[in-house]
Amino acid sequence: MKKWNKQEAIEGLKELINKLSLVRQSGRSSQEHIRWLANSLRILEEIFGKNSRYYQTLSNFSWSETGSRVIHGWDIEYQIEQGHKLAFLNQTQQAEGLLLAAIDQLGESEITDVYEDNNSISEASELVAIINLAEKKLRKLMREAPTKEKEVQDKYEDLLLANDIEYAKEFPHIMFSSKQYIPDFSFEKYSLAVEIKLCKSDEKALIAQLNDDIIAYKTKFKSLLFIIYDLGNIRDIDTFKQSFEQFDDVIVQIIKH
């Protein structure tokens, strides 16, 4: 296993970022994609450890569309492949952000301080599970379209309980700009708040609501996860998410019914 110094590690991660343009051009599961992924996981393991959030997060990327969606028209295979292609491109963007975050940490730390040993494996795995839980499993629990936000919140809580994940519900109460904000769920040891929204009407009002929540919750939490259960009102997922890409450590997941 290669022993990296700080400058070599930063340059190595920058090189992985530079190679992403070729990966995007070559496509999902291409030789360039698989080679880049294998090298990225090896380098992240050597620098940060196999138990680090960087290695764990990248290793859990699906590189394809997950969940279910409605397909219109006759060419079903084409539409499915287009969905996989879009998900692949989105995850290359996420991978770039992940590597940039790794570079940021290296810039602020010594190389010997960033490596995570076996003691952190359970926490890293649990954080990945929390982030992926709704996107992978929430839709399967919703047999009928929900009419109230609480229905979605209850199903998400069922997932947390089923996976033995510790959480706080509707805590803490945060006063910001003369208004009280209460996250649906919070995970103190990860400094993570989870807010669940049910999109039943105009997405513009929802965007304004999320922007307000971000500003308030960022006074208390490092990371925010918004889970939006959409009943068919969000037409362009990428355009919707663009509003929130300016914020660090903010994840927006849209679950289509």
Say if residue 71's pLDDT is above 70.
Answer: no
Say if residue 1's pLDDT is above 70.
Answer: yes
Note the pLDDT of residue 119: 54
Residue among 133, 136, 130, 138 at smallest CA distance from 229? 138
**Average pLDDT, stretch 82-98?**
90
The first and second tokens of residue 246, run together, are 């300016």
Residue 62, amino acid: S
Note the pLDDT of residue 47: 94
**Average pLDDT, stretch 24-31?**
92
Task: Give the long-range contacts of residues 234-241, CB within 8 A, separation 24 or more.
Answer: 234/199, 234/203, 235/203, 238/86, 238/90, 240/203, 240/207
φ, ψ of residue 231 to 5 degrees: the values are: -95, 25
pLDDT in tens, 122-173: 666 788 888 889 988 999 999 899 999 999 999 999 999 988 889 999 999 9
**Average pLDDT, stretch 231-243?**
86
Instruction: Provide the mean pLDDT of the chain.
Output: 88
3-class DSSP state for residue 198?
strand
Note the pLDDT of residue 3: 83
Burial class (CB in 10 A: 0-12, 13-18, 19+), 55: buried
